[in-house]
Amino acid sequence: MIFRVFLLFFALISGAFADVCATDDAGQSLCLAVPAQRIATLSPGATELTFAAGAGDKVIAGVNYSDYPPAALKLPRVGNHTRIDLEALMALKPDLVITWVTGNPPAQIELLEELGIPLFAIEPRTFEGVSSVLERLSTLAGTEESGFAEAERFRKGIADITEEYRDAEPISVFYQVWEQPLMTINDDHLIGKVLQLCGGVNVFGDMPRLVPRISAEVVLEANPDAILTGSAEGESDGQLDRWKEYSGLSAVVRNNLIFVPASPISRPTPRLLEASKLICQKLEVARGH
Amino acid sequence: MWWRPVTRALLSLGALALAAMMLALAMGSVTVPLPDLWQVIQGDGSALYRTLVWELRLPRAVAAFATGGLLAVAGALMQVLLRNPLADPYILGLSGGAAVGALLAMLAGMGTLLISGSAFAGAMLATLLVFGLAHGTGSWTPSRLLLTGVVVASGWGAVITLMLAITPSHKLPGMLYWLMGDVSYARTPWPALSVLVVSIALIMPLARNLNVLARGPMQAAALGVSVRPLEWSVYLLASLLTATAVTAAGSIGFVGLIVPHMLRLVLGNDQRVILPASVLAGGTLLVLADTLARTVIAPEQLPVGVITALLGVPMFLYLLHRSR
Amino acid sequence: MSTLRTRDLIINIPERRDGFALNMTIEPGQVWGVLGPNGAGKTTLLHTLAGLLPARNGWVELNNAPVKELKRRAIARQLGLVFQERQDTFPATVMETALIGRHPWLSPWESEQGEDQALAEQALHALDVDGLSNRLLNTLSGGERQRVAIATLMTQNPDIWLLDEPTNHLDLHHQVKVMNLLRNQAQSGKTVFMCLHDLNMAARWCSHVLLLYTNGDACWGAAESMLVPEALERLYNQRLISLKKDGLSVFVPAP
């Protein structure tokens, strides 16, 4: 009897004896008997987030384009996030597989499920979602210390930016995701939220679709004061040249054709913080033009 | 005595099919050494190898065989029905209807079972549409059916293009890969295999009738064939086979056109031989193609339609050259 | 032994007024020749008799049963047809083509047996094409293909033989051989009915003749009574000179 109470006490104070549990972004709950030691990540974003949660040394496989952090480049590849090499994945014997809610092929994921592989689906859509996923991933990996710290750093960073640009003068912005076809984002998209953070007003923020395909005409009609796009290192490449011929466009008149590094802003990961700071600074400069 | 070359041909094809299946079980992005493979087949072997062979490779190989067989037989039937050696299973717009069904289901965010069901429903709808249109215009000929089918297929193509244009970006890769065709989508091979086996059992008694039909509808009627019921039965059966194949693995091209054609160059025009040979040859081709698709640049996975074309075209050109 | 009978039969030629109603009885042992210019409806008549085309009026009886009410297989066991034109999209071998003639006699599950094989071999031999057994049909000359088509009918071995211009593409030697074969078949109890474009052939080999005029008129009967210059000149719109030699009538166009 006393022995049992002793065990219970131990179990309560040392979480190592209890299941580690978390709920994924698709609403499914996952419990592991012990924290994961062999993690496979099935999208570049998932790889990055798992590393950021402090579990980088537990990741044993990734898919193509998992290029951040640099250590991820050395990971064994198991195909593409749209076409996974299940054999290679199985051979590496993962005890936890991080999937992307909208990216991976459902048929293959269902097969993994049937084979009894623990799956955890993520895809943060908000700043809080990024912090939350870091916390949940670190719980599953047993790296709570660094994971929760990173989540908190991110939260605080976002809060600081919010505070800093709270009273910034609104500036109308068009974010060009892709040149041909012409694509942008609405306010539900994380990029849209970054723009809002910096006091930018996305001229297409109210569009119903997350990534609308638009025509040049509506851009000219909206006449944004700044146009942003992502390039490899944030350098000026030719993607915004087409706007230069519209001499009446406010962004052109005010010389506000702005480039930012594409990768940090396109993935819902902690690098969003640095990306946000950069965008907010650039918009601040743009306001002065 | 007269049968013997034919029996030899069918047995060789059967042996090839078996060899292809064995190859599919043995090969993959993870090497399973032959002694271990033998162990697994006997029921032993490590957990990983057992999972690889029984859960991953075997269902996929069976699905590939069934799909290849379905497409090849459907192609053979279409070629006889339309009396056109260039017909393939998709010529009457079936794969277009299936694609529209599947893409609609993907757009609506449905699960894989509903996507398959929707694809099948789309294919059967396409069948009935062409049937109704061709039938409604009175006395139809194969060329009328062909024209109707081609027009309807173009219509489906337009709808597919529209859907690809308006779909949200993240759904696009999934849709494109479905259109390219991929055996890895087949979650379970048994429906496709059952349809194949049942269909062959149904079509074999009709095979000689098809030989007679190939001489022309009047000639066939004069030899005792009920032409119109036969043609509609063949059409519906070919549609069922194609719908099943496309539902299982998307629209894999080339197999349905090339396999029956190649077999006819080598084995002659007796449907009693060509139909079972098509099952074996089509199945073998797709199993080999799929094995290559998942290993040649592993861990990258290629769509199997690329491989069937790359394998099939030189083989066909060689046979064509030799048959001069 | 089977009899074909037409009852007030008017064949359907689109956009032509009703022709003369045909009331013929085509009996075993008879060799009928149908003569007429192009467009008179010879082929249409043949196809109507076989039940492949609907009549405009009247009906055809096969052994006292209306053809319309019989199943195709039953018809094919009693009546066979050699067509004028053939399709070759999926060519078979000569032997396979001849064996197709056995189709009406075999159930779906049966395949050709020894006796079917023997019948086919005999037929091919009778038509002088047995040396070509394994050749593909599309590698043969027109004459050889014609003979294979007739061999197929012979393999089918129905009581009633309908032939559409059976001597097309044949050289003189084989024309004679085929016509003799047809007469022999009639003598052993078959009923032979064929369209001919050569009226001398009709004169030589036919016991009965049907004359089909372009405007739909028709007359039929014993060959001697039909093959008279007045009728034939009106039929072909061509003046003829008729000669008799060794008991045979010969017609040539007059200058």
Both ends of chain A: CA-CA distance in Å? 77
Q: Which of C89, C113, C138, C152 should one mutate to test binding to chain B, selecting the residue with the greatest count of B CBs within 10 A?
A: C89
Map tokens 């005409």 to a residue.
A217
A157-185 confidence digits (pLDDT tens): 999 999 999 999 999 999 999 998 899 99
C90-143 confidence digits (pLDDT tens): 889 999 999 999 999 999 888 888 999 999 999 999 999 999 999 999 999 999
Asked if B170 is an interface residue toward chain A (Cβ–Cβ < 8 A), one would say yes
Q: Between β-strands C31-35 and C191-195, what pairing exists: parallel, antiparallel or unpaired?
A: parallel
Residue A215 and residue A128 in one domain: no
Backbone angles phi, psi at B241, to 5 degrees: -60, -45
Neighbours of A235 (CB within 10 A): 8
pLDDT at A8 over 80: no
Residue A117 and residue A219 in one domain: no
A230-265 confidence digits (pLDDT tens): 999 999 988 999 999 998 999 999 999 999 999 999
A100: tokens are 């992307």
pLDDT at residue A17, as a whole number: 54
A201-221 confidence digits (pLDDT tens): 999 999 999 999 898 999 999
Sheet containing strand A96-100, strands side by side? A59-61, A39-41, A96-100, A119-122
**CATH number of the domain within which A152 lies:** 3.40.50.1980
CA nearest to C50, candidates C74, C86, C30, C28: C74
Residue A150 and residue A179 in one domain: no
Contact criterion met (CB < 8 Å) for A90 and B29: no
- For chain C, how are helix, strand and coil distributed in percent, rounded to 5? 40, 25, 35
Backbone angles phi, psi at C90, to 5 degrees: -125, 80
The rounded mean pLDDT for chain A is 92
Contact criterion met (CB < 8 Å) for C111 and B214: no
Q: Which chains touch C (3 or more CB pairs under 8 A)?
A: B
Contact criterion met (CB < 8 Å) for B224 and C50: no
Inter-CA distances, A38 with A25, A55, A56, A57, B163, Å: 21, 10, 10, 9, 40
**CATH number of the domain within which B42 lies:** 1.10.3470.10
Q: Between β-strands C65-66 and C57-62, what pairing exists: parallel, antiparallel or unpaired?
A: antiparallel
Contact criterion met (CB < 8 Å) for B185 and A107: yes
Q: Are B67 and B242 in contact (CB under 8 A)?
A: no
DSSP secondary structure of A58-97: GEEEB-TT--SSGGGGGSPB-EETTEE-HHHHHHT--SEE
Radius of gyration of chain B (CA): 20
A112-147 confidence digits (pLDDT tens): 999 999 999 999 999 999 999 999 999 999 999 999
Q: What is the mean pLDDT of residues A57-73?
A: 95
Q: Is C224 exposed, middle or buried (0-12, 13-18, 19+ CB in 10 A)?
A: exposed
pLDDT at A92 over 50: yes
pLDDT category of residue A2 using cuts at 50, 70 and 90 = confident
pLDDT tens for the 324 residues of chain B, in order: 456 778 899 999 999 999 999 999 999 888 888 888 889 988 888 888 888 899 889 999 999 999 999 999 999 999 999 988 888 899 888 999 999 999 999 999 888 889 999 999 999 999 999 888 887 656 667 888 888 889 999 999 999 999 998 898 888 888 888 888 888 877 789 999 999 999 999 999 999 999 999 998 999 999 999 999 999 899 999 999 999 999 999 889 889 999 999 899 889 899 999 999 999 999 999 999 999 998 888 778 888 988 988 888 888 888 778 766
Map tokens 């493979």 to a residue.
B37
Q: Which chains touch B (3 or more CB pairs under 8 A)?
A: A, C
Nearest CB to A90; choose among B52, B298, B301: B52
Answer whether residue A162 is part of any domain.
no
A96: tokens are 């936890």
What contacts A251, CB < 8 A, 6 or more positions away? A174, A224, A225, A226, A227, A243, A257
Both ends of chain B: CA-CA distance in Å? 27
Q: Are B251 and B185 in contact (CB under 8 A)?
A: no
pLDDT at A15 over 80: no
Q: Which domain holds residue B106?
A: 4-322
Shortest CA gap B247–chain C (Å): 31
Answer whether residue A28 is part of any domain.
yes
Intervals of chain C under pLDDT 50? none
pLDDT at residue B1, as a whole number: 45
C4-253 CATH choice from 2.70.70.10, 3.40.50.300, 3.90.1300.10, 3.30.420.40: 3.40.50.300
For chain C, give every domain's residue range.
Answer: 4-253
Residue A76 and residue A203 in one domain: no
Q: What is the DSSP letter of C22?
A: B
User: Do the two chains A and C touch, given a threshold of 8 Å on CB pairs and at least 3 pairs?
Assistant: no
CA distance B141 to A88: 52
Shortest CA gap C108–chain B (Å): 5
Q: Which domain holds residue A267?
A: 167-288
pLDDT at residue B299, as a whole number: 79
Contact criterion met (CB < 8 Å) for B221 and C108: no
pLDDT at residue C29, as a whole number: 96
Q: How many domains does chain B have?
A: 1
Contact criterion met (CB < 8 Å) for B223 and C103: yes
Q: How many domains does chain A have?
A: 2
